[in-house]
Amino acid sequence: METGRILILAGPSGSGKTTVTHLLMGLHKELVFSVSATTRSIRPNEVDGKDYYFINQEVFKNKIAADEFVEFEEVYAGMFYGTLKVEIERIWANNQIPILDIDVLGALNIKKKFPETAVTIFIHPVSIENLHSRLTKRATETPESFAFRIKRAEEELTLAPQFDHIVYNRILETAVEDADSIIKKYL
C-alpha cells in the first residue's frame, strides 16, 4: 500500500497530549484516531476498540511475531503498546490521515520509517511539578505506576529536540492553536 501522511503527537504521560489530540480531531474531520493495541488492563471510562484494542500478552506477542505492528514499545514493565499496520492502512484506504497518540520512542521510530510523510509533535508539559498535579487529578495510577510515569517523563523530555515541532502545553487553548497552525500547513 502507498504510504500516506501520519500525524503523531507524543509527550510524557500527563502532558495533556490525549486532550490535545481529541480537540484537533474535532477541528479536522480528515484526522482519524489510530487505535493502538495494548496489554494493560482497561480503565473504567475506556471502551475496547475505541480507546485501545485490549489484548493479552500472548496475542500481542503473536502479533509481533507475525510482523503486524508498525511499531511497538514495552512502555511500562510488562505493558506493551503498539500501532497496528492494519489500523493505519484502513485509515489511508479511506483517504484520511491517522493521528497517533503514542509514547516518545514510538513516535521517533515511526518518523524513522516514514521520514517524508510523518510529522511529529512533542507536547511539552510546563514542568515536572505540573505533571505531578495532572496525574494526581487523573487518579488512575497506583503509587508505583505514578512514580514510574514521573521517572519516564523526565527521560522523555530529553528527547523533545528530536521532534519536528514542540508545542508547550501551559494553557490548553493556546497549545491546541499552536498545534493546529502546524497541522494546517501539513494538511
Residues that bind ligand 5GP (CB under 6 A): 13, 36, 40, 71, 73, 75, 81-83, 101-103, 106
Nearer to ligand 5GP, 133 or 184 (CB): 133
Write the CB contacts of 121 (distance below 8 Å, at least 6 apart in sequence). 7, 8, 9, 10, 163, 164, 165, 166, 167, 179, 182
Q: Minimum Å distance from CB 101 to ligand 5GP? A: 5
Q: Minimum Å distance from CB 50 to ligand 5GP? A: 13
Phi-psi region of 112 (alpha: psi -120 to 50; beta: other; left: phi over 0): alpha
Nearer to ligand 5GP, 82 or 98 (CB): 82
Nearer to ligand 5GP, 31 or 102 (CB): 102
Q: Minimum Å distance from CB 139 to ligand 5GP? A: 13
- What does the alpha-carbon distance between residue 139 and residue 17 come to, in Å, rounded to a whole number? 17
